[in-house]
């Protein structure tokens, strides 16, 4: 198995993690607010990283990272975790995880263009075709309204705001992925992600200091259900999912990585069917087939 294939498998693993974390953070955010969930999940993730790195590297914090790594990964953490996730998590609350993931159809082309400008990455014709097929399938899936939902999505408050927030979240995701690849092309992906988490934690602490939301944070910590959702989301999101995403981008192009990660809405279909009894439309089935076909093309490219 070559390095590129390993990277693609890691990217698919990231997508599966994001499917779990998006539902978890949507549930937690609706109970206690997206800003509180953002800060708490980074604190939890930092603790998980400390335990993992102590076992794997003998130190609870990143060791051996030079100034180049710290500067660019910190910038990546501020853009990806603070700007990107701040907007994306609020979009989860405003329009729901599945609708918010519409914009993740924009992440692959955004990432591919940014990777070309910043890293000089060039994608071949078959890779571009595969990305197009995958993104097209994702668009079909995430824009299909289940029959049982009727006009429920149209009646959501703050729908327009949520969509725009999701767009800004996608921009943060694309920039954060490219900057993390630039900052740490070879560095341990888990240690690198911990640096991003540290930067994100500092950024959100500043936000809380400015907005004086500490009482809301204390109230959120007392909500056991929200904390259970946040704990699950922190493990599969900032810890495992983001680390796998960086690992994938180190071994294949950032555009391909972003395209595979963007299959989250397709992965969410069976989850929502079995857990929430959602119906599947013909359009969603066609979209899922296209997305899977595109993923297969990427592995063959």
| CA–CA separation, 55 and 58 (whole Å) | 6
Give how many domains the chain has, as a whole number: 1
pLDDT digits (tens, 9 = 90+) for 249-300: 888 877 778 778 777 777 877 777 777 676 777 887 787 778 777 767 766 6
Q: What is the pTM assigned to this prediction?
A: 0.75
| CA–CA separation, 123 and 132 (whole Å) | 12
Answer whether 179's CB lies under 8 Å from 79's CB: yes
Query: The tokens 């740490």 sit on which residue?
Result: 184
pLDDT digits (tens, 9 = 90+) for 8-48: 899 889 989 988 998 898 899 889 988 899 899 999 999 99
| CA–CA separation, 70 and 67 (whole Å) | 5
pLDDT digits (tens, 9 = 90+) for 172-183: 888 888 888 888
Look at residue 151 and tell me whether its pLDDT is greater than 60: no
In this predicted structure, what is the pLDDT of residue 45? 93
59-67 mean pLDDT: 85
Answer whether 90's CB lies under 8 Å from 205's CB: no
Q: In this predicted model, which residue has the larger pLDDT, 161 or 155?
A: 161
pLDDT digits (tens, 9 = 90+) for 183-211: 888 888 899 999 999 999 999 999 999 98
102-106 mean pLDDT: 64
In this predicted structure, what is the pLDDT of residue 150? 43
Structural domain harbouring 88: 3-300
133-148 mean pLDDT: 69
Look at residue 90 and tell me whether its pLDDT is greater than 80: yes
| CA–CA separation, 137 and 103 (whole Å) | 13
In this predicted structure, what is the pLDDT of residue 157? 59
In this predicted structure, what is the pLDDT of residue 152? 45
**Angle ∠(233,226,50) on CA atoms, nearest 5:** 45
In this predicted structure, what is the pLDDT of residue 223? 95
Token pair listed for 290? 């296209």
Query: The tokens 């341990």 sit on which residue?
Result: 188
| CA–CA separation, 258 and 24 (whole Å) | 21
* Whole-angstrom Cα Rg for the chain: 18
């Amino acid at each position: 198995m070559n390095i590129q294939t390993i990277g693609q498998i890691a990217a698919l693993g990231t997508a599966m993690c994001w499917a779990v974390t998006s539902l978890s953070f949507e549930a937690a955010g609706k109970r206690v607010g997206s800003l509180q969930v953002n800060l708490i999940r980074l604190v939890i993730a930092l603790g998980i990283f400390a335990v993992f790195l102590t076992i794997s590297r003998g130190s609870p914090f990143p060791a051996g990272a030079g100034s180049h790594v710290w500067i660019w990964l910190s910038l990546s953490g501020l853009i990806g975790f603070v700007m990107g996730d701040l907007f994306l998590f609020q979009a989860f609350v405003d329009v729901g995880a599945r609708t918010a993931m519409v914009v993740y159809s924009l992440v692959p082309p955004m990432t591919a263009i940014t990777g070309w400008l910043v890293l000089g990455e060039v994608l071949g014709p078959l890779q571009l075709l595969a990305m197009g097929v995958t993104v097209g399938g994702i668009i079909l899936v995430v824009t299909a309204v289940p029959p049982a939902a009727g006009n429920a999505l149209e009646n959501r408050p703050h729908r327009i705001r949520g969509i725009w927030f999701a767009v800004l979240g996608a921009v943060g995701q694309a920039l954060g992925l490219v900057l993390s690849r630039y900052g740490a092309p070879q560095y341990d992906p888990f240690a690198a992600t911990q640096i991003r988490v540290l930067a994100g934690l500092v950024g959100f602490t500043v936000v809380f200091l400015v907005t004086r939301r500490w009482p809301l944070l204390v109230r959120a910590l007392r909500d056991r259900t929200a904390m259970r959702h946040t704990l699950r989301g922190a493990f599969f999101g900032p810890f495992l999912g983001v680390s796998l995403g960086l690992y994938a981008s180190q071994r294949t192009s950032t555009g391909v990585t972003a395209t595979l990660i963007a299959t989250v809405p397709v992965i969410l279909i069976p989850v929502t069917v079995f857990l929430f009894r959602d119906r599947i439309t013909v359009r969603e089935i066609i979209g899922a087939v296209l997305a899977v076909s595109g993923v297969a093309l990427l592995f063959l490219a």
